[in-house]
Amino acid sequence: MANVYKCDVQVASTVSHDPDTFAAATSAFAKLVNALGDQNPHFMLVSYSHHHNGAAVYEALARAAPDTLFMGGTSSGGVYVGATASALGLNKSGGSSSTNSRHRSNTGSQGPTVGLWGIYDPEGSYAILNADLDREGPREAARRCLVDGMKMLAMEPEESPDFVWTVMGGGEDTYDVDDQRDGEEEQITRAVNDIVDCSYSVVGGSSSRHAASSRGYATQLCSEGGNVGCVTKHGACFAICCPSVEVAHALFTCYDATDKSFVVTKASGRDLFALDHKPALEAINEATHGMLTEMTQRPEKFNLESNLLPAYYPVARERRGAVPRGLKRMSSRYQMLQPETSARDLSLHLGAEVRLGERLHMMALSPRGVASKTRRGLRDAVRVSVPTMDLQDVIGCFLSVGMSYDRVLQGDLNAVADATGSAFPQGASLLSVSHGQQGVMTGGNEAVHANSMLTALIVTNRKKAQKLNPLRPLNIRLATTTA
């Protein structure tokens, strides 16, 4: 049964395709306010295509939304909103079935786009902070932002926020011997795991890197930049939040495991040298019945940015956590590791770290099944997180999709955006693309970093039984800017 209690929380999403950055951001925010019933959002996630300069997006939003906390960054592909329930033919009542969430009809492209996803929540508590990773180590940055954010929410050390969302990006893959050669995303997720109770809190996020082509830099925005600055080219943004309603999270893949698996026999950080004592690319070529033979002869052609084939053949580690009863889908068990490039020795550089001695499964993808698997994966996530929740009570979904899906679907993720809309007919959705995805897998209790996955923040209209230190977002903003 849908929630019969009146809820004052609303979620909306909009996009603008105006090539002028200031006009795009300003008009998108005006549409968002209108969709929220002429109310400014208290918290907003921002995603924009590489056509737009991050500093210009920030400047426009800072003027248009001076009292709204916002953060976000460059999408690794397009930005999309899902189709409305009425457009999908899902609203059978003949009228609007919800006043809590509104979103625009499906539109998205690889052209200039600014997308906004905003929450109006007068009883919620929100704090955002950021870090410049050229000036501060990833672990130290994450610890500082999380601890300071929890202090802003007047939380006790033993308490954990309802959700933590991160936006990272900009830098190259770097490793530190003292950090067990973790990449930056791995270092940040480890810090989150140290501070946040991931069995209670929703934890997720995404990361985007500078494009290999001349499309420009990936940037990150934070309206509360303080000494760091509000726009970074190699940064991390953190939202530490206690909304007044229940939230959920999804982290899953649309790839399926094949019957082929390997043991990692030589690896370092994100570099995979050998599988079953064979050069990594050679082993994967054999597992795909010679589909990559040309690339074993010319390994420089194995490049996810410029070639479609690598997107079809990632590997994954199986995580054997306690999968809840009734959840039959296997997509929640596999943590994807996407090979991105190859070297002359046929080693592979992955988008996430690999471990010596672990078993990896060969994965495969059917492009036709991506939309339906997205819909099922999102619905399963809600059923697991809040078993008694009706899907009609989901009022918002912010989804970040791995870049490999963008490649396989040839830059058109409209069907995936529509699948999000059909999964949650009353939910306002926004979809962006990322190189890396972070979150907690089903049955797990720690955040992980992966690729070729989908990570989502899901907001419901069910009020929490007990609110934690409800502070007005404006008060938090003042505390942040005057600290």
- C-alpha distances out from residue 270 to 54, 139, 174, 351, 354, Å: 29, 18, 10, 7, 6
With CA atoms as reference, report the closest residue to 378 among 207, 253, 200: 253
pLDDT tens column, 271-302 = 999 999 999 999 999 999 999 999 999 999 99
Give CA–CA dist 176/179, Å, rounded: 5
Report domain extents, the chain: 10-252+372-482, 256-364
pTM: 0.89
Give CA–CA dist 288/265, Å, rounded: 19
Confidence band for 216, pLDDT divided at 50, 70 and 90? low
What are φ and ψ of residue 139, in 5° steps?
-65, -45
Q: What is the mean pLDDT of the chain?
A: 87
Residue 235 has pLDDT above 90, yes or no: yes
| pLDDT value, residue 84 | 59
| pLDDT value, residue 131 | 97
Q: What percent of the chain has pLDDT over 70?
A: 83
For residues 83 and 401, the model is more confident at 401
At position 299, the amino acid (one-letter code) is P
Give CA–CA dist 112/22, Å, rounded: 12
| pLDDT value, residue 306 | 87
Q: Which residues of 152-168 are buried (b: 16+ CB within 10 A; e: fewer)?
A: bbebeeeebbbbbbbbb
Among 91-95, 229-233, 343-347, the range scoring the smallest mean pLDDT is 91-95
pLDDT (average), residues 81-88: 62
Residue 143 has pLDDT above 90, yes or no: yes
